[in-house]
Amino acid sequence: MVVIGEHRHTQVKIDLQAIKHNINEEMTRKDPLTELWAVVKANGYGHGIIQVAQAAKQAGATGFCVAILDEALALRAAGITEPILVLGITEPEYAPLIAEKDISVAVGSQEWLDQAKSILAANQVSAPLHVHLALDTGMGRIGFQTPAELSVAVKTLNTPASPFDFEGVFTHFATADQADDTYFEHQIDNWKQLIAVIDELPRYVHVSNSATSLWHQACNGNMIRFGVALYGLNPSGTELTSPYRLHPALSLTAQLSFVKKLARGKSISYGATYTAAQDEWIGTVPIGYADGYERRLQGFHVLVDGEVCEIVGRVCMDQMMVRLPHEVPVGSTVTLVGTDGDQTITLQDIADYCGTIHYEIACGLAPRLPRVYTE
Check residue 22 for interaction with ligand PLP (CB under 6 A).
no
Asked if 223 contacts 37 with a C-beta cutoff of 8 angstroms, the reply is: yes
Which residues are within 8 A (CB) of 31 and not within 5 positions of it... i.e. 6 or more apart? none
Burial class (CB in 10 A: 0-12, 13-18, 19+), 191: buried
Among 137, 175, 187, 210, binds ligand PLP (CB under 6 A): 210
Q: Which stretch binds ligand PLP (CB under 6 A): 154-162, 209-217, 243-251, 266-274?
A: 209-217
Residue 141 assigned to a binding site: yes
- Measured from the CB atom, is 227 or 248 closer to ligand PLP? 227
Catalytic site includes residue 359: no
Give the residue, chosen from 83, 108, 168, 235, that forms a contact with ligand PLP under the rule CB under 6 A. 235
Residue nearest to ligand PLP (CB): 227
What string marks each residue from 280 to 319 as x (binds ligand PLP by CB under 6 A) or -?
Answer: ----------------------------------------
Binding residues for ligand PLP restricted to 28-67, rule: CB under 6 A: 39, 41
Nearer to ligand PLP, 92 or 227 (CB): 227
Closest CA to 239 of 209, 211, 216, 207: 211
Give the shortest CB-205-to-ligand PLP separation in angstroms.
14
- Of the residues 155, 192, 261, 270, only one is catalytic, namely 270
From the list 50-58, 107-115, 220-228, 270-278, the region that binds ligand PLP by CB under 6 A is 220-228
For residue 179, give the nearest of 139, 227, 237 by alpha carbon: 237
Backbone angles phi, psi at 283, to 5 degrees: -115, 150
Residue 20 sits in the site that holds ligand PLP (CB under 6 A): no
**In this chain, which stretch among 71-79, 144-152, 204-212, 349-357 interacts with ligand PLP, using CB under 6 A?**
204-212
Nearest 5°: phi and psi at 352? -55, -45
The answer to the question of residue 227 lying near ligand PLP (CB under 6 A) is yes
User: Residue 322 in contact with residue 356, Cβ under 8 Å?
Assistant: no
Would you count residue 209 as binding ligand PLP (CB under 6 A)? yes
- Piece in contact with ligand PLP (CB under 6 A), picked from 73-81, 185-193, 205-213, 343-351: 205-213
Minimum CB–partner distance for residue 55 and ligand PLP (Å):
16
What is the C-alpha to C-alpha distance for residues 12 and 104, in angstroms, rounded to an integer?
A: 31
Q: Which stretch binds ligand PLP (CB under 6 A): 69-77, 96-104, 151-159, 222-230?
A: 222-230
Residue 346 contacts ligand PLP per CB under 6 A: no
Q: Is 254 in the site for ligand PLP (CB under 6 A)?
A: no
Rule CB under 6 A: say whether 225 interacts with ligand PLP: yes
Q: Which residue in the list 41, 204, 293, 359 is annotated as catalytic? A: 41
Annotated catalytic, 270? yes
Q: Among residues 16, 23, 86, 87, which is the contact residue for ligand PLP, using CB under 6 A?
A: 87
Chain positions contacting ligand PLP, by CB under 6 A: 39, 41, 87, 172, 209-211, 225, 227-228, 235
- Residues that constitute the known binding site for substrate: 141, 317
Q: Which residues are marked as active site?
A: 41, 270
